[in-house]
Amino acid sequence: MKYIHYLLMLIMLISGGLIINKIQPGHNWGGDFSLYINQSKHIIESYSIDELYEWNKISMQHSNKLKQIGPYAYPNGFPILLSPIYYFFGIDFVLMKVLCGLFFLLSIPLMFNLFKEHFKDVTVPMALVCLFAFNNHFIDFADNILSDLPFLFFCLLTFYIMTIKNNIMNQILLGACLFFSCFIRDVGIFLIPALLCYQILHSEKYSNNKYHTIIPYSVFFFFFVLRKLSFPIGGENHINFLVSGLYLDLVRSNLKYYISLFSYAFFNYGFFIIGLVFIVIAIFGAFLNFKKHLHFTIFILSNMFILIIWPARQGIRYLFPILPFITFFFLQAIIFIQEKLNINSKYQRYILILCVIAISSYSVIKLYSKNELSNQAYTSEMVEIYNYIAQIDASDNIIGFRKPRVLWLFSGARSVYTDLNHFDDSIASYLLIKKDSQLVSNRYEILKEFQNYVLIQK
């Protein structure tokens, strides 16, 4: 059915146009993006990645806020993806965002091909694809230099390669994708139990070549050893953060929060009841072919478990890798219910198409109703500030700022998170704060005033 390929291409083209239209120069304050770019910079410019790790560790430990939030270093998979752009173009925000958007676009045919064999009517997986291709959260998120969309792509690719022909090359590729998913985000490790489950429940696929089952793990282990030898593992402070912040009320609160996010994902309003109904129907869909799809379920549950027990709420972007699978289960349940109600398949198709058109249209309208500027970290004033701070001797002086990783990337200054209330106890020698802060002029010397900021020193 050639028209399917053309339709997928059209969907990708429209979605790509929406993404390009939303991408803006510069970047929001965030903070994570700057560490990703800085790691890419250290990889390309042959700086010691260990040096970056050690200083960021010091920064996190001496920041009165970020020490419990930011990792000492992110997995270097995403910085490696950014590195060709940095090598040829430097810090080009637009190109780096386009790269993230491209990974999302490539996820669209992967979703379709991964789910199409589970439905009789090709309209259903196509509807699923449209729910994501025109989803304002995914499209708008491409205006960020973050690992979430590449991670989504490699998770889908890993699951897709599980299903294709069993030969040596595909199993090697499966192991490589399995590793690189983990190399982008640590939670990619949950793909390993999903793969093991798939191999057990689809043992007939490996009956003639049982040794093929160990190839992906061998490839994964090989690359994992290389990673261990080449890069520091920077998330060890997250373990302490998790253990120290875990309590029962947090679990209840997070569970309610993330259930509401499933409503927000498609309707842009976080109604708990709608999210709960969505989850209940999806759970029913998961039980319809429980064994056949158990590897999907394991991946969903393991990711949800981490989100629910995590002391800090991560927002909708952390649902990105599991949302297609939960939606898949939801649609399976809906189709099953329609069949039990003896609804004509033609009407099923029309109802589904109308619902998808309505949800997608509403999502695109919401996308364009948001006209916020996404550049706060690289305005003309901030560039002036970065250039000024870059002239301060970084070997002896540390700057206190609410976004230390951003300041470090653009000015080269060693930075920690601090504010006026904690300045005296901070290791920082200088403090960059908003002008409207309550300054005690006879206590601190004002070194430099900018339009909206002021640089003071002890």
Question: Which alpha helices (H) appear in 290-448, and where do they start and end?
Answer: 294-309, 323-340, 345-369, 380-390, 404-411
Looking at the predicted structure, is the pLDDT value of residue 66 above 60? no
**Contact by Cβ (8 Å): 66, 114:** no
Res. 124 pLDDT band, cuts 50 70 90: very high
d(CA 425, CA 422): 6
Q: Which residue has the higher pLDDT, 8 or 350?
A: 8
Q: What pLDDT is attached to residue 366?
A: 86
Say which range, 106-115, 184-193, 378-387, 442-451, has the weakest mean pLDDT. 442-451
Q: Is 68 exposed, middle or buried (0-12, 13-18, 19+ CB in 10 A)?
A: middle
Contact 66, 421 (CB under 8 A): no
Nearest to 190 by CA among 200, 199, 198, 178: 178
CA 454 to chain centroid: 34
Q: Is the pLDDT of residue 244 over 70?
A: no
Gyration radius of the chain's alpha carbons:
24
Q: Is the pLDDT of residue 112 over 90?
A: yes
Q: How many CA within 13 A on the CB side of residue 85?
A: 20
pLDDT band at 286 (very low <50, low <70, confident <90, very high): very high
Does residue 399 contact residue 456 with C-beta atoms inside 8 Å? no
pLDDT above 90 as % of the chain: 62
CA distance 431 to 33: 22
The two counts, helices (H) then strands (E), for the chain are 19, 5
Q: Are 265 and 319 in contact (CB under 8 A)?
A: yes
The top-scoring range by mean pLDDT among 38-47, 248-257, 318-327 is 318-327
* pLDDT per residue as tens digits for the range 197-238: 999 998 888 877 888 899 999 999 999 999 988 887 766 666
Task: Tell me what pLDDT residue 233 has.
Answer: 76
Q: Which amino acid, residue 345?
A: S
Question: What six digits make up the tokens of 437?
Answer: 């802060």
Per residue in 133-169, pLDDT tens? 999 999 999 999 999 999 999 999 999 999 998 899 9
- Nearest in space to 199 (alpha carbons), one of 230, 166, 224, 228: 166
Q: What percent of the chain has pLDDT over 70?
A: 93
**Each residue's pLDDT tens digit, 21-60:** 999 999 999 889 999 999 999 998 866 788 888 888 888 8
pLDDT at 264 over 90: yes
Alpha helices, DSSP H, located in 23-92: 32-44, 49-61, 77-89
67-71, 247-251, 325-329 — which is least confidently predicted?
Answer: 67-71
Q: Which pLDDT band holds residue 98 (cuts at 50, 70, 90)?
A: very high
